[in-house]
Structure 1
Amino acid sequence: MTRRPAWLTRSSAPKSVLFDIPGPRARRVNFTLSVVGVLLVLAVIAWIVMRLDDADQLTAAKWEPFTYTDIQNALIKGMWATIKAAAVGTVFALALGAILAAGRLSDHAPVRWVATTIIELFRALPLLLLIFFAFYLGKGSISPFMSVVIGLTLYNGSVLAEVFRAGINSLPRGQAEAAYSLGLRKSQTMRLILIPQAVRAMLPSIVAQIVVLLKDSSLGFIIAYPELLRSVQQIGAQYFNLLPAFIVGAAIYIGINLTVAGIAKILEVRTRHSKTGIRPTALDETALLDSKL
């Protein structure tokens, strides 16, 4: 009789409780604090609305331009430019982060030194400087779009490299040792076993960095890249409604970030289910056949 694999065994031990269940008095206190917190938030919102009304920022004339087709098209173009730069920068940053993380974990000292130098250099430089360097050092041969993408890639790729490295180092050493015992090279072990697990474990941190990357794409307005913030600024300057224009721009940014967070939540749920699901592997099926023979 073969021994049941440990990963198939479900633990029946009760989960540890990190805090005591609140009693009636504690529940009343928590409810009171919640009500007070909600009232304070509503009071702050009401104060902001009153201040906007006193400054004549809530009049119909200030918001009417956003009903114009040209203004809506300008906002859509700016939003698309932001999403496009963020999407391309995300792909390149993830690829660069994986390469730098692999170099940082290399067995060869020169490779580790080069990867570490690149990571520390571009993490230390402000993103705005990287965008400026890419744009002005290119002497007009690099478009504003590519300048923004290069800056986003270098900075966020260096940050993601450290995220990947931390995720890989957090995995049990037995993962790599089992792969080496099967004859896999280190590159195969990293690509096939360690990196996929690290990405799954560090998915929240990766998504948070992608959201930061998306917001940082607004720095492209410095080099006249027609992203959302620049479009909002131009609309506000043209119709003398800067505050309503920035409110609309903020709402669009919030909508985009909530969409990214929603997609990340779906991916997290899917990866968690695939991780906890019990699926026999080919190795387990082979062992079962051998036991029957």
Structure 2
Amino acid sequence: MTDTAPSTSETARRAAQSLELLHAFIYFAPEAEERFAALGLDRGRMAYYAGRAAPMGAVSAGVVAATFYNFNPESVARSIPRAWSIAAPQDIVEARLQAADEALRRMLGDETATSAEVAATAELAAEAAAACDPAGKPLHAGHADLPWPQEPHLKLWHAATLLREFRGDAHIAALQDAELSGLQALVLHSASGQGFKQSAARSLREWSQQQWAAAEGELRERDLLDAEGEITAAGTKLREDVESRTDAMSAAPWQVLGDRVEQLIDSGRGLVRALAKAGAAPRDLFGRD
């Protein structure tokens, strides 16, 4: 009999994907923009940088650029540390939690947000998140030091955030092992057609055309892009190697659930579909230009 059980790495990737939007919706939610604006933060980049970095405290622009990895450090420095003089990190953390509450209730509806399904999903996700070792994972560690929300839908969001940042910190380690800078990784991901469109990636991460072109040249020298800027077979293989390494380094939280991980994946996918249907993330940012 052939063993068709999914591998640990495959499970880690599937599980992460099943919960991704349960974390990432906050970056597109108008509720977050309004909450941050009420604190006096500039809309757009400052709100994003401060909102995501605030759990680490009033850190420097260098720390934010290092932990976010593929954003232009010059862009980060235009907002950080100025953001901390406008609003204290703890106030930003609280505003973000309030925005998550409002956005989830709007998109899922109060009945679903307070349902037994969400509560059960939150408990599984929280159990997985509790198994994350923060050593060497600074962005995850900052979020892990925050108190757990008690409402099930917010507990689920917090757990999804911890799991996402845990994987993200591991992903940066894998990218560095592959000798890919943040910008190079962003260019290669866009070329694959599986991430942001090139125009969106360059705009959202605030890289100039010259900086983007220079990174493309560096990737061509390694035969990761061809002359037209398309990803090569070598580039595709390197990206898969990086993802596999990321899977291996972020598998621990899913392993503690055993067979129950499939329950979490199924439930997470259902909730993500509901969020996507409600417009939780703009679809025109992804794919190819």
Does the alignment reach a TM-score above 0.5?
no
Structure with the higher helix share, 1 or 2: 1
Q: Which has the higher contact order (CA 8 A, sep 6+)?
A: 2
Q: Which has the larger radius of gyration?
A: 1
